[in-house]
């Protein structure tokens, strides 16, 4: 049941993101740095024993929180 609920949440998020175009921006860094920063955040998150339980939504949320802490913001493109 937990896997089904998680899958439903991920699919819903994917659908909603498909309806709008968003991107991560930083006020002082070029967009080409996004991949490096995201990889660093994701690596830190995956190193946390609390998040190694396989719940991808928790990993995504923690990675995005790390990105926001580093100054990145997700904006909606017009």
pLDDT band, very low/low/confident/very high, at 7 (cuts 50, 70, 90): low
Domains in the chain, number: 1
What domain range includes position 38?
Answer: 22-77
Does some domain include residue 14?
A: no
Query: How many CB atoms neighbour CB 41 within 10 A?
Result: 20
Does some domain include residue 35?
A: yes
pLDDT digits (tens, 9 = 90+) for 22-77: 999 999 999 999 999 999 999 999 888 877 776 888 889 999 999 999 999 999 98
Residue 29, phi-psi category: left (phi > 0), alpha (psi -120 to 50), beta (remainder): beta
Helix (H, G, I), strand (E, B) or coil at 53: coil
Supply the angle between the helices 34-46 and 56-69 in degrees, to the nearest 10: 130
Pair 46, 55: CB distance under 8 Å: no
Question: pTM for the complete prediction?
Answer: 0.68
Does some domain include residue 7?
A: no
Does some domain include residue 71?
A: yes
H helix runs in the chain, sequence order = 2-19, 34-46, 56-69
């Amino acid at each position: 049941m937990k896997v089904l609920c998680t899958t439903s949440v991920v699919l819903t998020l994917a659908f909603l993101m498909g309806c709008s175009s968003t991107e991560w921006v930083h006020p002082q860094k070029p967009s080409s740095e996004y991949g490096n920063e995201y990889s660093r955040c994701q690596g830190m998150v995956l190193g946390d024993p609390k998040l190694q339980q396989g719940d991808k939504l928790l990993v995504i949320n923690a990675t995005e929180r790390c990105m926001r802490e580093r100054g990145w913001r997700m904006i909606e493109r017009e």
